[in-house]
Amino acid sequence: MDYTYTTYSYEDEEKRRARRQARREQMRREKEKRERINRIARVVIPTGGAILLSLIVIVAAVSIVPKKAGAKGADVAKAAEISDISENVTELTLYNNVRSEISEAIPTAEPEPETFINKNPIVDGKLKVGDVEFMAGYSATATASTIYPSEDYSQSIYSILIDESNGEIVAARNAKDRIFPASMTKIMTVLVAAEHVTDLDEEFVTTQEMESYAYVNDCSAVNWDVDEHITIRDLFYGTILPSGGDAAYGLAEYVAGSQEAFVDMMNEKVKELGLTDTHFANVVGVHDEQNYSTAYDMAMILKAAVENDLCREVLSAHTYVTTTTDQHPDGITISNWFLRRIEDKDSGGLVLCAKTGFVNESRNCAASYMISNSGVPYICVTADAHSAWRAIYDHVGIYYHYTH
């Protein structure tokens, strides 16, 4: 078997470093320019009105110079007044120039906040999601055609496959029995966060609390350092791709101020979706008797996430490189290993989004979204598989044998 190796030269690495350095230098210059403008504005803007008022008063004074004043005295007064006017006009010109520069740097009108919720209207009970149509709503129905999946194709104790074009349950095994969702919990975490975030590029400083939470609870993590300057976008991708407990905790801190307050928002979203067998106790999926769901409910939560433009983008990413920082000058490369491992398997379509989970109490679980070769959207959720690879092959088997 022939293998192809990719090599990287020192010259390539030097070019990459040079590009990163050039970018940092550009950001530094832009920051200095903004600070210079702000310093001038703090001096000029408060006095600009006074300058304009002085100009008006001086012009008015010129117009009422006594007619009986001597010619020489009048000429001297006139020259002085013209000089004063010239100085004030110069200052006013500077003021206007600064205001013009400020108006270019700072928009005069508040920009509309960026939104990430699918804004397409529901037409005839269908919602446009990307290039396909979903049945609107968050319920699915078993039919006479619903089957119990064969163990030849899926060995997970709990599973469900839903045709999202019509809301029909294609296959199900113990789908409404309670499970512990483990890190599938993070699907709801990013969904709730996406509905409350408007600036993905806003800076976020990592905290001791988020790093300690991930360490103490033995969570998967992106592994940032404390006080590292990253972005909100990094937190979203860090929550899903490596299943970062630190990133999920950071999102909760950013959006709600605390994990507890954010969990309340998650449970409100559960009610909004009309789900009755799900309750969250944390944002990460750390085992807790009060952090539970079902395969059916998790399928509905994934459906809502896929309908959200930002969540669909994050859940479909195979790899991502976090922001370059002083602590990580090359960023941190993170991966969605479920998507990377399933992409070369024949599932009868293309698996676009996925999130896995594991705790001892639920073993390996996964939720994924696929579009079949015939263009039909499906969502599959499985739980209690004996290995991570078994969870992947269960999704492959269910998709390949029960979709069209």
Residue 294 and residue 278 in contact, taking contact as beta carbons nearer than 8 Å: yes
β-strands 168-173, 141-147 pairing: parallel
pTM over 0.85: no
Q: Quick one: DSSP state of residue 184?
A: G
Partners of residue 229 on adjacent β-strands: 205
Q: What's the rounded Cα separation, in Å, for the pair 376 and 121?
A: 20
Which residue matches tokens 């004996």?
386
What's the token pair of residue 23? Answer: 């970018």
Q: What's the rounded Cα separation, in Å, for the pair 183 and 170?
A: 25
Residue 298 and residue 270 in contact, taking contact as beta carbons nearer than 8 Å: no
Note the CATH architecture for domain 126-402. 3-Layer(aba) Sandwich (3.40)
Checking 84-93 for CB contacts under 8 A at 24+ apart, the result is 84/58, 85/55, 85/58, 85/59, 88/51, 88/54, 88/55, 88/58, 89/55, 91/51, 92/48, 92/51, 92/52, 92/55
Q: What's the rounded Cα separation, in Å, for the pair 130 and 288?
A: 35
Name, in order, each residue with C-beta under 8 angstroms of 390's C-beta and a sequence gap of 6 or more: 155, 156, 364
pLDDT tens-digit profile, the chain (404 residues): 433 333 334 455 566 556 556 655 666 666 566 666 556 555 544 555 555 555 545 545 544 444 444 445 555 455 555 555 455 545 555 545 544 554 455 444 444 444 455 556 778 888 889 889 999 999 999 999 999 999 999 999 999 999 999 999 999 999 999 999 999 999 999 999 999 999 999 999 999 999 999 999 999 999 999 999 999 999 999 999 999 999 999 999 999 999 999 999 999 999 999 999 999 999 999 999 999 999 999 999 999 999 999 999 999 999 999 999 999 999 999 999 999 999 999 999 999 999 999 999 999 999 999 999 999 999 999 999 999 999 999 999 999 999 99
Q: What's the rounded Cα separation, in Å, for the pair 215 and 217?
A: 6
3-class secondary-structure state, position 381: strand
